[in-house]
Structures are given as structure tokens and as C-alpha cells.
Structure 1
Amino acid sequence: MAKYEVLILGLEILIGKGALEVQILGDSQLILKQLSKEFKCNNEKFQKYLATAWELLTSFRKVFLVHIPRIHNEIANELAQIVSRYRIGLETLRKLASIHQILVPADEREALCVGKWEDNDWRKPIAEYLKNPSTPVDKNVKLQAINFIFMADELYKKGIDGSLSRCLSQDDKEIALGEVHKGICGAHQAGKKMKWVLYRNHVYWPSMIRDCIEYAKAFQECQKHGSIQQIPVSKLHSIIKPWPFRGWALDLIGLIHPPSSKHHKFILVAIDYFTKWVEAVPLIEVGQNEIIDFIVEHIIHRFGISQTLSTDQGTMFTGQRIKNFATSRNISMITSTPYYAQANGQVEWKRDREFLVNGPTLGKALSK
């Protein structure tokens, strides 16, 4: 059936060009004998194709049917290799270019070769080395060039099975990714499946798998309609404190209105995770220097150097001075997640408990 379709398509092209004589070369005696009416066609599907071919042949003055052995049918073999991009010879591509110029009008032609490549194009050093192997290049380029072939101004990647994959530039890569993912035949598939589809279409560039995964992840429609991610945005830190004063939680209470008689507006609180021991000081202003002085006087001098200090993501706790101070004392600074910015509820829990049981004990710090 495929041979009949090719025959009919070729005859239609010749009729459109005004050809008066045609010579049909083929390695199938069955088709040639059916065209010459020596053999009868009993297949209903083939009868439709045969009738169409007979009707087209009546448009020519002379028709020659020539049978050639399959081993000598080089033209058909070359055309099949061009379609599949399998071991295409340079001379074959030149023949194709000449036929393309004859059959296709100038205003409908597509470029068979790309213009001058840019300097940042990954294909350029490999192609230049393949065109002129005597050019001094880096040894890595020589190793890469083993798996490539340069033909008719195009760079191809050689596959394990001998097939050739056309190497794409940056612009062509974006077009290929969009066509595979959201094009007519695209199914919004994952990155690895996209790479497999591109490989089946015989295209290649070095970062295919990474680009496919990033394109699928960043596509807006896939993010809207995809499954909800259950993974937290930032890394979670397990709080396990097997002995006292190993880890402290720092937090700030305020702005308190009205302020105390000494104009204290904030309370800086530190709570030990193991014993729930509280250290608190009133402050007029809150800065990194005040926090460092509090850690030194109320934690390090009294209970020793802590292993961890847990805070929220406030700028007074995440400043560069605080980080340098913690690094110099080998203290690990841990910040809570934006979803629950409190320092794991230590300060809030202690404040509420004290107000319910003993009255506003933390508030007494304001009177100091």
C-alpha cells in the first residue's frame, strides 16, 4: 500500500510540472505487472489505488515500466534513509537539495542549511573540528567529536544503533520543547517522557534531560492543574534536646503599648527546650547588638555555650552580625518556617501559661 501511495504522489507531482513521459523503476514485480495489466488485483484496498494510478498514467504520452533488482534500487533506499536520518551520505543530501530546488517553488522553499552559528553555540567547536581536524582544539572537544558527524552544514549525533540525531541550537531547542510538551501532539508529559519523545524524533542537545524536567516543572498550566506538593518549602529541623541548656528558643514580645515608665517597649525572651527555663529582659529598642549582649550575659555566662539557637525569620535574628557571632562560638542558628513563624510556640506557650497560673510574671520585667 505504501508503494502505491508513493507512486500516486510522484505521478501527481509530475503532472503538475507538465511532464509528458514517465519512467517507473521498481523492485516489486507485483506492482509493475498490475500496472501493465498482466496480473489481476484481487485485493479491494489495492484495487482503489490501482484504479487511481491507471487514471493518472493516462495523462502521459509514454509510460515505461522497468523492473530492477532490490539490491540496485539505490534511489529508493537513499530516500528512505533521508526520511529516517539513518546514515545519510553527503552526496545524497546534495542530490536532495538539487531536486528540492527543481520541484519546490522559490517562495515555498525551506532552508536546508542554517546560517553562520553564533560564538556561544555549543555545536560550533565540534563542527569546526570535524571540518578541519588539523585545527588545534581542546582534548575534550576531540573526545566529544567522536560521537558526532558533520554533513551538509548540519551537525548530527551518532546513536548506538547507527541512527543520526540532528543537533539543535538554543532557539530550536525551545521550539522543540514547546512542541513536545504543549504542541498539537503534546500531552503535558513529565520531563523524562519528553526526553524519550525527542529522542524518538531524532533531535539532540547536551542538556536534554535537565531542560525537559525544568520545562515541565515551570510550565504554568501544569502547575495549576497538577497534584499538590506535600513537601515543605524549606528543610524541617527536628528538635531533640536530651539534656538541659543544649538548645534555646529566642523570640520577641512587643511592641507593647503603653510602654513602661522607663520607656521599655519590647521583651526579649529565651526558653530552654529541656527544662522550659525562661530568661527575659526588657528593651527600649531591638537591634542585633542588644540580642548579642543578651545571649552573652543571660545564656552563655550563666549556662554555657548552647549548641543551637532557634528563632523566627525576623531581620534582628538573621542579620550578618548575629551570624558572625554564632559562627565564632560554634552555635548553630535555626530559623522556623514561614508557615509557622513562631519559634515552635515556646515563648507563646510560656507566656500564656504564666498569665493563667501566676499572673503576668513576664510583664513584671517591664517594671525593672
Structure 2
Amino acid sequence: MGQLTDSGWNNVQQIGKWSGDSCHLQMIVPKAKVPDVLQLYHNGCSGSHLGVKRTLLKIRERFYWVNCCNDLKDWCRQCTSCAAVKGPQTRSRGALKLYNVGAPWERIAIDVAGPLPESENCNKYFMVVMDYFTKWPGVLAIPNQEASTVADKLFHEVFCRFGVSFEIHSDKERNFESQIFQKTCRVMGTHKTRTTSFHPQSDGMVERINQTLERYLAKVV
């Protein structure tokens, strides 16, 4: 907790919030320590500048003070990182087409985003693998977006863990259209489909996850 565990917390009291037979303990936060809690749970790496509702749920798991919700709303409204990154939301939508999937990992979508600031492990890109049936997203950090790297990561981190999919959907990037990747799909018996040109809505499921991840990374990196 950093500053939240110093001698300033000596006068912190705990109260019980009873619901049936369960007891939920919360710490009463002095007014002087409220900015520390908001800084940790909203601006910190674990907070990732989430909205008011999600941040409030995290805070209420441990802390309580009067006007907590209003203080959090004011804090989020004045956050410069949120204002700089979020911006206005576009409302354009492409035509939708239903695709029936009968089981988990029957059909998956993949995409690579980056480059990003290099991490301590020398990774500059991330690859998103998402299941069409369960909508479960997997995010894998990779050092580059070469076809050999993408195919190796897909084989060892996805197929070896969850099983081989019947179908893979991706855009027309060179790493997905290369001979290495195509050969990997043939060996594994996986059918490869692709989006139409200049139409990212064809792979909108992973594109939306990419947008969410890039927004959070832009705030904390």
C-alpha cells in the first residue's frame, strides 16, 4: 500500500458491513488520505484509469468514507490522462453478419498490434487470440511480428494449451499470409479465412479488444 500503511493509518478504524451471516470489513479513510486511495486505485498500474463504476467497486472492497462516490467522480473528471487518451467516441458501424459457432475453440480470431514501447523482456508487440464461442481473449507479448514468431507463439501458447481450432480468422497482414503461417495451418489441419481489404469490421471482435488494450497501455506506460 505504500503511503497507506505508514503511521498516518494508526487512527484508522474498521467497521463491519453485515449481510446475512457474512461480514465485510472496511477501513474508514481519513479525509487527508482520500487522495492517496484515489491515486492508487485509479491512476495506479492496477487501476489502469478505469471508469467510475469499476473503480468504485474496487475501492468499496476495502475502504469507506463519506461522499466516496462524489469524490471519485470529481477525481476521474479531473484526470488529465483519461481526458487526453479517451477522446470522442465514433459511432460508425459496418454491416453485421451472423456466424454460427458450435463449440469453444472451434473458430478463433487473431491479430497483432504495435509497435509499443519496449518492455523489460524486449517485447514490442502483442498478439490477441479470441474465441468466437466464449468470447475469451488471450493476449500474448511478442518481440516482433514476423511470421515465424507469430506461428511459433500460436502453436506453443494456444494450440498446445487449448487444442487445435478448426478455423482461424485474421486480416491480410503479411505475417498471416506468409508461407510459414500457411504451412503451419495445413500441418495442423486448420482452415484459414481472412478479412476483406480495407474493412477492419470483418475482424471487429479482436479490433475492439486491441482498442481497449491500447487505451489502457497509453495511460500507464
Q: Which structure: greater strand fraction?
A: 2
Higher relative contact order (CA 8 A, sep 6+): 2
